[in-house]
Chain A
Amino acid sequence: MHSKQRFQWAMLAPVILLLTGLTVFPIGYTILNSFTDYYYLASESKQFIGFANYIKVIQDEVFLKAVWNTVKFMVLAVTAEIALGLGMAVLVESLKRGLKILRISLLLPSLLPPVTVALIWQMMLSNHNGIINHLLSYFGRGPFNFLMDIHTAFYAVLFIDIWQWTPFAFLLIYAALQAVPKLQYDAAKVDGAGRGRIFLHITLPNIMPSLMMVILLRTIDTFRLFDKVNILTGGGPANSTTTITQYIYRHGVYNLQIGYGAAASMIMVLLVLTFSIFYIKRSIGGSGHDMRY
């Protein structure tokens, strides 16, 4: 080995060791555990059971419900957050005054930890003392048991997530809007293009890489939805708000069924990859639009 190569390997070694220790080993260990009946408090009697955990997970109605809830949540939350974030960004960008105050106040929800957000909304949505029901009562409506009614619980959690993360989408899209060359707008105006055409043919193509990045980040993040559901509904009523992460937590963490939880986790990883592969391919391959973040 040449001295230059030796030097390169010496420089790379710490990173490789770190990655192996913090990423490769945990993933490998999780995969191995997923083929065992590993129960943490009886780890001495751990046995290899092949694909039994995977079969059990896939056959479990609660898991299938959790997958459905998670996917539904992801599609609705990401769509709404992107649409609202884009709308807010375009609106704010067109304003001439009060920009700073508006930008800061719009960002406030996303600065709060998810647990705090869940607790605040739990108080506000309370059907006995909550301010939302008090407001509704002025209009002769309610009280609604938002978090314990099977018709509303899922949408209440969805609404809270949109409330918290739309500002994040707004921030990235707004930053992208700032970078659109003004010359392109001027040229379009000279050519007589209307607002709609300018938005479709100039704004949108320019901010597309940022939009894709926001979609990717929010897709991955919504898949990990846990705190809000665990605090607000506990997965109920009737599993209408159970998510995959909550399912994994219940089995793998609370009940210490590490093997079973690992199998469910591996299935979740595959699902996240399936949903993210399109974005990741674009990101790595650089086809279409460059990902600049």
Chain B
Amino acid sequence: MKKNVFILISFVIVASILAGCQSKGADKLVVAARGGSHVTAMEAVKEAFEKEHNVQVEIIGLEAADLKQKISLDAKNKNGAYDLIMADDPWMPEFSEAGIFANLSKLGVTEDADFEASSLALGKHPYGTGELYALPFSGNVQLFFYNKQLLDKHNYEVPQSWEEVLSMAKTIHEQDGVAGYVIRGQQGNPIVSDFLPIFWAYGGQVFDDNWNAQIDSEAGKKALNTYIELLAVGANYETTDIVSSLATSQAAMALGWPSWFITGEEASAEYSPVPAQAADGAEAFATGMIGNWMMGVTANSKTPELAAEFLTFITSSEVQKQMVEHGGVPTRKSVYLDSELSAKYKHFPVQLEALENSVARPRTPLWSRVEEALGTELSAAIAGTKTVEAALSAANQEINQIMK
């Protein structure tokens, strides 16, 4: 009797272990996503797909750094843990070169002209011209945020140049005692994203055509001086404080991303495209940094066809319209131009305009390292431990070293 019980228990244990080790069937799709509003939006709409395909869609929300790390580590497994992954657009060259994404064209996903062109270009490898590896999921693009009340008080129109921004910021700071302009100067990605639009407005480019750094150009020096002057009449805040200070008239202007601010009709701050000129009458450049979150099927997905279907579903115009209600940021022109939605979300025309005139960060697989080097030196310059010239020269040197 004892022997039989022992055999039975052993059998159950072995069967449980085997069941646990069994490869994941086609009844489940796992999405590795950037946590926050993206996950909320997907969760709100996924049910229709689950019912139609009799599949469970599990969405794992992660912080950006965790997401990048987990995707990279999983890429080396024969059978991946994730079927679909979200990627910040600067990661695209690195991930595409490493073969992390499956080729979407081979999975029957066709190019869709309804996607905003600058967003769609980010999903191709090589950038803009190559094969399609990811579709744009969230159409984040940097915008210029301002407190209308403070600007109206001084009879100011929305500034069109950075010298105008600086002059307005000085006046507001002196007369109202609030921050004229708020920078997001935390070392790393924040300060780089905050500085580059100003640098671009001055006609600067991080690299020349041969990938030589030129951050220490005249444009770089002028832009960094402007940035430091803006800080002198403003403040250096992290995201939450930028949002609340602008909403409560404690700050007049800042750069930001739509997903921070735009929560519906009651959005507190006003927004416009990022000023495109250094000074009034100067040449205008594209300055709104595009920061789309892309989504693609993993090369090691066990059910790539089903994953591709979910990707098509989640980025379709019908589903994007639904996701807007849950904090989703569209990537399709038809959603931005939808009369019902644009009547409710008054920022849509501005955001579409910003997307159309947006500029992508340099498309190199080494961008993360370049950004880190640049971020360190920009931080040193605004902290006053290095002069503008010394910081930009050091950044240039280090970026060239990375690009070797």
Contacts and interface: CB of A to CB of B under 8 A. Distances in A.
Interface of A: 40-43, 62, 122, 126-129, 145, 147-150, 233-240, 250, 253-256
B110 interface: no
Nearest to B73: A40
A126 B240 contact: yes
A234 B385 CA distance: 17
B237 to A, nearest CB: 6
Contact of A128 (B190, B244, B379, B380): B244
Contact of A235 (B72, B188, B385): B188
Nearest to A249: B65
A127 B376 CA distance: 22
Interface in B58-87: 65, 68-69, 72-73, 75-76
B383 A254 contact: no
Contacts of B68: 254
A60 to B, nearest CB: 10
B236 interface: yes
A148 B244 contact: no
B67 to A, nearest CB: 11
Contacts of B291: none
A3 B230 CA distance: 81
A150 B188 contact: no
Contacts of A41: 72, 75, 94, 97-98, 100
Q: Which of A147, A233, A254 has the most CB of B within 10 A?
A: A254
A129 B250 CA distance: 11
Contacts of B94: 41
Nearest first, the 6 closest Cβ-Cβ pairs linking A and B are A236-B187, A41-B98, A128-B241, A238-B380, A150-B383, A238-B383
Nearest to B385: A238
B72 A256 contact: yes
A43 B245 CA distance: 46
A149 B237 CA distance: 11
Contacts of A240: 383
Q: Which of B69, B379, B384 has the most CB of A within 10 A?
A: B379
Given A128-B250, A233-B186, A238-B187, 16 more contacts: A41-B97, A42-B98, A43-B76, A128-B237, A128-B244, A148-B186, A150-B385, A233-B187, A234-B190, A236-B376, A237-B383, A238-B379, A240-B383, A250-B372, A254-B69, A256-B69
Looking at chain B's contact residues, is the secondary structure mostly helix, strand, loop, or mixed?
helix
Contact of A127 (B69, B190, B235): B235
Interface in B76-116: 76, 94, 97-98, 100
Nearest to B365: A41
Interface residues of B, number: 38
Given A41-B98, A129-B241, A238 B386 contact: yes
B342 interface: no
Contacts of B236: 145, 148
Contacts of A149: 383
B382 interface: yes
Given A62-B376, A250-B372, A127 B187 contact: no
B256 interface: no
Contacts of B237: 127-128, 148
A254 B65 contact: yes
B118 to A, nearest CB: 26
Contacts of B385: 150, 238
B72 A237 contact: no
Contacts of B240: 126, 129
Contacts of A253: 69
A42 B187 CA distance: 28
17 contacts: A42-B98, A43-B76, A128-B250, A129-B241, A145-B235, A148-B236, A149-B383, A150-B383, A150-B384, A233-B187, A236-B187, A236-B375, A237-B380, A239-B187, A239-B376, A250-B372, A256-B69
Given A40-B76, A254-B65, A127 B241 contact: yes
Nearest to A42: B98
Contacts of B384: 150
B154 interface: no
A117 B245 CA distance: 24
B258 interface: no
A259 B390 CA distance: 30
A256 B191 CA distance: 22
Nearest to A254: B65
B267 to A, nearest CB: 19
Nearest to A257: B369
Nearest to B384: A150
Contact of B185 (A127, A128, A148, A255): A148
A255 B235 contact: no
A254 B368 contact: yes
Nearest to B237: A128
A148 B383 CA distance: 9
A39 to B, nearest CB: 9
B241 A126 contact: yes
A150 B384 CA distance: 9
Contacts of B100: 41
B191 to A, nearest CB: 8
Contact of B72 (A40, A147, A150, A236): A40
Q: Which of A128, A145, A240, A254 has the most CB of B within 10 A?
A: A128
A132 to B, nearest CB: 13
Nearest to B182: A128
A129 B379 CA distance: 23
Contacts of A234: 186-188, 190
Contact of A236 (B65, B98, B368, B379): B379
B379 A255 contact: no
Interface string B237-248: 110110011000
